Structure 1
Amino acid sequence: MRFLGRTCLIVLSWLPAVSTQRDGSSVIGSDQPLIASPGEDVILPCHITPRLSAVDMEVRWYRESFKIPVHLYEDRRDQTDVQDSDYRGRTALSRLGLQEGILSEPEKPPSL
């Protein structure tokens, strides 16, 4: 496996998602909880500022366990084999968005 040198970590939590990298760029997410009814699609807002391509980065969305991601983009592709089974086939990242540093992910919450 090739290491790309950069990793963007997105933690799905109630805490504001702001992380500053060594190069001065920041990963920015929502500072407010996102509320949806079961079965609704949700876009989890997240982007890199200043604008920076994330095509060659690792983008990992996760909830409780870093090792079991909700979504993992690495080596320029989605890594569905390690994805949390509750989210398999239900998450996506925009390839065009990644070029612009947009890490937003549509998510459909698990059925209750």
Structure 2
Amino acid sequence: MDRNEPSHTFSLWILVFVFFVSSPAEAQAVVMASPRLISSAPGDDVVLRCHLEPPVDIQALTVEWSKPDLQPDPWDPLRRVQYVHVHRNGGEVTDMKLRSYAGRTELLTEQLRHGNVSLKILNVTLADAARYRCFIPKLKSAVREATVQLVVDPYLIKPSTTETPLDPKNLQTQEPQDQTNAAAGGQSSLRIWILLVASSSVLVTLGGVCLWRHYKKERKTTLEEPGAPQGREPLVQGSCLRTS
């Protein structure tokens, strides 16, 4: 029996173990889109969410976003794929994207290390409503792509926010309402003053009546006390006695 046989067997097991342990995690990762349907209004900024599950660092890989249902340009038959955004070698390839998306797409590059390949589209228009495809061509996985449907609805009501944009038009439209509120506030203040003056007048009048009654009662009591000086007899009585 060869003495080197155990060492060869041990080395073989080490190679097998290293192969399975060091196999790339991207072989198990799949591309997923969630949600697969996004609704927005014209002018909104939307994010087409797409990621790898489980998360894998794909900073060195190429990421392609395209519109698979868009017909090829007849003036450019060689371009079969209508790209919206292409990320390659750490940056965007601008000469491959559709002109209508120039300056309006952003890839969350800082999230690529976590397997996040979501695409942000700025100021969406009705023409942006379509199905979008996220594709990672060099990903060593059975599922390298996912699709997201974007719906742009002009009648979509945006949720209200606590912040109000400082728009001169908005300020002008709010002036009549502010004036109405100011006038209503002035009328309310005037009513309050009138009520205060009326209440004060009533209180003063009641106080005067009470004082007068008290004074009259005191005077009557004084006149009715014994020994109080009486008034002079009328002159008519004196003259009547003298004539008699």
CA contact 1:39–1:111 (8 Å) conserved in 2? no
User: Whose helix proportion is higher, 1 or 2?
Assistant: 2
Q: Percent identity?
A: 26
Paired residue for 2:33, among 24, 29, 35? 29
Q: How far apart, CA to CA, are the structure 2 residues paired with 1:23 and 1:89?
A: 33
The Cα of 1:103 is off from its aligned counterpart by 0.5
* Poorly superposed stretches of 4+, deviation over 6 Å: none
Q: How far apart, CA to CA, are the structure 2 residues paired with 1:81 and 1:32?
A: 28
Letter in 1 for 2:96: V
Unaligned 5+ segments in structure 1 are: 1-21
Paired residue for 1:48, among 49, 52, 55? 52
> Number of matched residues?
91
The alignment partner of 2:106 has SS state of coil
The alignment partner of 2:120 has SS state of strand
Q: Which residues of 2 match residues 23-102 of structure 1 at below 5 A?
A: 23-64=27-68, 67-102=81-116
CA contact 2:67–2:81 (8 Å) conserved in 1? no
TM-score, with structure 2 as normaliser:
0.35
The Cα of 1:111 is off from its aligned counterpart by 5.5
* CA shift digits 1:5-62 (9 cap, x unpaired): xxxxxxxxxxxxxxxxx81211110243101111100011111111111111110010
User: Considering only CA atoms, is the larger Rg found in Structure 1 or Structure 2?
Assistant: 2
- Of structures 1 and 2, the one with the larger relative CO (CA 8 A, separation 6+) is 1
Unaligned 5+ segments in structure 2 are: 1-25, 71-79, 128-244
Q: How far apart, CA to CA, are the structure 1 residues paired with 2:98 and 2:104?
A: 10
Instruction: Compute the RMSD of aligned alpha carbons.
Output: 1.9
TM-score, with structure 1 as normaliser:
0.72
